[in-house]
Each structure stands twice: as C-alpha cells, then as structure tokens.
Amino acid sequence: MRKLIDRLAEEHKLSKEEWIALIENRGEKDYLSHLARQAQKKYYGNKVFTRGLIEFTNYCKNNCYYCGIRRDNKNASRYRLRAEEILDCCKQGYELGFRTFVLQGGEDGYYTDDKLVELIGLIKNKYSDCALTLSVGEKEKDSYFRFYKAGADRYLLRHETADMEHYGKLHPPELKLSNRKDCLWNLKEIGYQVGCGFMVGSPGQTPETLAEDMMFITQLQPDMVGIGPFVPHHDTPFAGESQGSVEETLYLLSLLRLLKPNLLLPATTALGTIDREGREKGILAGANVVMPNLSPVTVRKKYELYDNKICTGDEAAECRMCLVRRMESIGYQLVIDRGDPVKI
Ligand code: 5AD
Ligand code: FES
C-alpha cells in the first residue's frame, strides 16, 4: 500500500486497478493522511478558506433518489428567496468576512437564465472583490456562457458517480451521466473554476465505481471536488439505506489531496452531520475549505437534502464564529479571502 500511496503522491495518478486496490484495502491510514496534510500545508499553509452558501431555492424539477428536495417529495415545503433577500445574505456575509458566495439551488424553472444573469450582475456589482460560485445544475452551454459573462467565477456540479450503471441506480432514466460530464467539460472550456464530486457510501457504490470517480477526476482536473458521506433522507426512495462512513470519507479526502495537491477540497456539512467533529477531521485529512450557510434561518430547515443536517437553527454569525473556533482548535485559521486555487 505504501508504494501505491508514494507513487500517487509523486505522479498524481494511478491505474484503475491500483485505485481499486487502495480503496478496497484502505491501509496505511496514518501514512496517507500525513502525506495529504503535508501537501495541503505546502500549498495552503494553515489557512482554511470559507464560502458563504446561499440556498436560494429548493424547488427542483429533478427526482434523484437520494435527495430530500426531489420533485416527488410532497412533504418538502418549497421556498424561493427574492433578489433582495439574496443580497441581504451577501451583505451579512460580507460583513462577517466572506469573500466567496455560493448560490445553490434546485433546478428551478422560475429562475430563468435572464433572472440568473440579472442576479449575478447585482451581486458582482456590489461585491466586485468577491468570487461568485453557481450551483444550479445542468444547463445548456450557452446558458453557462451567459452566466460567466455576467460575472460568475466558479461552478459546482457534482458528477455523483462516474460509473454509468451506478449513475442509473441513483437517478431516474431522464438523467444521464453523459450529459452531466458534458456539462462539466463545457464549464471548464468556458473558463470557470469547476467543481465536481460525489457522495461517499451512496447505495450501489463499490471500490470499482470509486476508482472510476478517481479516473474521471484525473481526466477532468477540476479546481474543486466536493465529497461528503451519503446520509439518507426519510422522504426519499433511499430512506432505508445506510449512511456513508466517516472513515472512508476521510480516506478519500486524503487520496484526492494527493491526486491534485492544490485542489480546493471542502470538509462538508454532511461530514459534520454524521460526526460532531467531522469537519475538523476532514481538514486534518487534507481538506482546506468550509462552506457555512448564509441562508436566512427561516428557510434553513427547508433545504434538507438529507436528515439531521447541522446548523439549521444557527445564524450566519454564529456559524462563522463556531468555525473560527473549531479551526483554531486544530491549529488552522479561517481567512478572509476569495480563496482561489494556488498555481502549482
Ligand atoms: N446525502 C448526502 N449528500 C447529498 N446530496 C444530495 N442528497 C444527499 C444525501 N441524501 C449532495 C449531492 C448533491 C449535493 C448538492 O448534495 O451530491 O450534488
Ligand atoms: Fe454552524 Fe457550528 S458551523 S453552528
């Protein structure tokens, strides 16, 4: 195992068989996380970047089997934030020290391209020293281009799994892995900083499908990769499935750090949900980003992709302070910065 880990750290790629062997075996944990943290420290020191997440709509036309805001979940109480409310979140966030805003939402037809372009313009006009990240799903290349021209800097679109058969177990037939991948390549071509990612321990995931994820990430060379444990939501077809493990998530975070040493790698809210110190453990495994919530507390609980999501009752300021404290407790510092990837 050590040999494989050393080679990954040097060459930043492995064959599919080698990935499978590593992921199946999950050996040399301490050695792996030591190397991952070394790489993280080399490029980012003890700095942790932060993004203010604004969950601006939980309407969604899709029906992913894992997701709590899927179309068929009639128990979800739907909401949309108005432009003024979104700008209020940014204002609050800016004062708290956030220099990246992430607009995340379901695939909501109400927010047409024109409306999004306008919103992007409003935000970038007021906060020109901030990066704006979009996370609004699959769109035409032309739409992505318009958002980019309007000022969006980054785009998050998790690929969820790079294995076609596995993709089909997580999504209804109208959603296609090929389309998802095309979107990511289009975003990259346009010039966005791009983030893909997947859930750890999703139903049907195997070392083989995870190896596919690693191969795809090696190909795509994204700037960001978001991974967090799968956590069942009670009103979805996967209600009875078991959740992903902390330990496997941490192992994969470390592997990703070695696969691309300057990666922007969040310790996710899902990881903080299944373990009280999940985010700290994530940073210590090689992650370098946290993404606290800036959405108004009145809607927090409604953006529930999975059960027991943390921070749904806390004001943005509380979360910021909480994270400052948590990061300090492990020797890291939350910084006021756009948090762009460093060049290698
Ligand atoms: N558990 C964990 N993560 C989830 N996501 C959606 N539903 C769940 C769940 N039940 C993740 C998906 C999506 C991101 C916004 O949240 O990977 O891309
Ligand atoms: Fe939200 Fe700790 S990060 S309360």
What is the reported pTM?
0.98
Task: Give 273's pLDDT tier (boundaries 50, 70, 90).
Answer: very high
Share of the chain above pLDDT 90, in %: 99
3-state secondary structure of 334: strand
pLDDT of residue 170: 98
User: Distance, CA 287 to ligand 2 centroid (Å)?
Assistant: 17
Ligand 1 center to residue 199 CA distance, Å?
A: 7
- For residue 143, name the pLDDT band (cuts at 50, 70, 90): very high
311 CA → ligand 2 middle, Å: 5
Q: How many angstroms is it from 67 CA to the middle of ligand 1?
A: 6
Dihedrals phi, psi of 215, to nearest 5 degrees: -65, -40
Q: How confident is the model at residue 310 (pLDDT cuts 50, 70, 90)?
A: very high
CATH of 2-335, picked from 2.60.40.10, 3.50.50.60, 3.20.20.70, 3.40.50.1980, is: 3.20.20.70
Q: 115-127 pLDDT, tens per residue? A: 999 999 999 999 9
Per-residue pLDDT reduced to its tens digit, 32-91: 999 999 999 999 999 999 999 999 999 999 999 999 999 999 999 999 999 999 999 999
Instruction: State the pLDDT at residue 154.
Output: 98
Q: How far lies 302's CA from each of 68, 99, 268, 337, in Å?
A: 9, 25, 18, 29
Residues with a CB atom less than 6 Å from ligand 1 = 66-67, 158, 160, 199, 228, 230-231, 233, 270, 305-306
Closest ligand to the CA of 229: 1
Indicate the top mutation candidate among 53, 56, 65, 67 to test ligand 1's pocket, ranked by most ligand atoms within 8 A of CB.
67
Nearest CA to ligand 2 atom 1: 319
Atom in ligand 2 nearest the alpha carbon of residue 311: 1
Ligand nearest to the CA of 280: 2
Q: Which ligand is nearest to the CA of 195?
A: 1
Taking the chain, what is the end-to-end CA distance rounded to the nearest angstrom? 26
Ligand nearest to the CA of 311: 2
Spatial separation of the C-alpha atoms in residues 19 and 247, rounded to whole Å: 17
Contacts of 144 (CB under 8 A, 6+ apart): 155, 183, 186, 187, 190, 192
Alpha-carbon distance of 21 to 16, in angstroms, equals 9
CA of 323 to the centre of ligand 2 (A): 6
Pocket test residue of 305, 306, 308 for ligand 1, highest count of atoms within 8 A of CB? 305
Report pLDDT for 134. 99
Residues with CB under 6 A from ligand 2: 292, 311, 314, 318-319, 322-323
What phi, psi does 204 have (nearest 5°)? 90, -5
Q: Which of 283, 318, 320, 324 to mutate to test the pocket of ligand 2 (most atoms within 8 A of CB)?
A: 318
Distance between Cα 58 and ligand 2 center (Å): 21
What pLDDT, on the 0 to 100 scale, is given for residue 320? 95
Structural domain spans, the chain = 2-335
Distance from Cα 35 to the centre of ligand 2, integer Å: 28
The residue whose CA is least distant from atom 2 of ligand 1 is: 230
CA angle 237, 307, 246 (to 5 degrees): 100
Sequence-ordered list of residues with C-beta below 8 angstroms from that of 192, at least 6 positions apart, any chain? 144, 148, 152, 153, 154, 155
Other C-beta atoms lying within 10 Å of the C-beta of residue 172: 14
Ligand 2 nearest-atom number relative to CA 290: 3
